[in-house]
C-alpha cells in the first residue's frame, strides 16, 4: 500500500551553506517540497505542523497525496508520528471547508 509521509525539513545549500526550512512530502509516486519557511514556522506538534502545511500549500503533488489518503481512507506519517484516518479526515474537512 502506498504510504504518504510529510517531514519537517532543513535544507542546506552545499556550496554556500545557506539554510532554509520547510517540509518534504513523498509517497511511492510523487515527491515535493517547500523550503520557504523559517525555523520558527515549524511547530513541534505533528498535527499543528500538518495543519500549517495544508493551510499554506497549494502544491498539486502534495494535494494529490492527501487526496489519495482520502480516497483510501488511510492515515499519514508526519515527522515520525502516524496520524490515523479518523483524525486526518477531520483535518482535511477543516481545510476544505475554508
What pLDDT is recorded for position 95? 58
pTM: 0.90
What pLDDT is recorded for position 68? 95
Query: What's the per-residue H, E or C state across 51-72?
Result: HHHHHHCCCHHHHHHHHHHHHH
What pLDDT is recorded for position 77? 98
Asked whether 31 and 24 are in contact (CB, 8 A), the reply is yes
Distance CA 25, CA 34 (A): 9
What pLDDT is recorded for position 86? 95
Asked whether 70 and 62 are in contact (CB, 8 A), the reply is no
- Could you tell me the residue range of the domain that residue 72 belongs to? 5-97
Q: Is the dihedral of CA 56, 62, 67, 73 positive or negative?
A: negative
Least Cα distance to 74 among 92, 90, 86 occurs for 86
pLDDT 10s digit of each residue in the chain, 98 long? 899 999 999 999 999 999 999 999 999 999 999 999 999 999 999 999 999 999 999 999 999 999 999 999 999 999 999 999 999 999 998 555 44
Distance CA 94, CA 44 (A): 21
Q: Per the structure, how many domains does the chain have?
A: 1
Which H or E element spans position 27?
Answer: none
Amino acid at each position: 500500500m502506498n504510504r504518504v509521509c510529510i517531514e519537517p525539513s532543513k535544507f542546506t545549500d552545499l556550496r554556500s551553506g545557506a539554510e532554509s526550512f520547510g517540509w518534504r512530502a513523498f509517497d511511492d509516486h510523487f515527491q515535493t517540497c517547500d523550503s520557504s519557511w523559517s525555523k520558527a514556522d515549524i511547530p513541534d506538534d505533528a498535527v499543528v505542523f500538518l495543519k500549517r502545511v495544508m493551510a499554506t500549500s497549494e502544491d498539486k503533488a502534495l494535494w494529490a497525496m492527501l487526496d489519495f489518503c482520502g480516497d483510501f481512507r488511510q492515515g499519514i506519517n508526519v515527522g515520525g508520528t502516524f496520524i490515523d484516518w479518523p483524525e486526518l479526515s477531520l483535518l482535511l474537512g477543516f481545510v476544505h471547508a475554508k
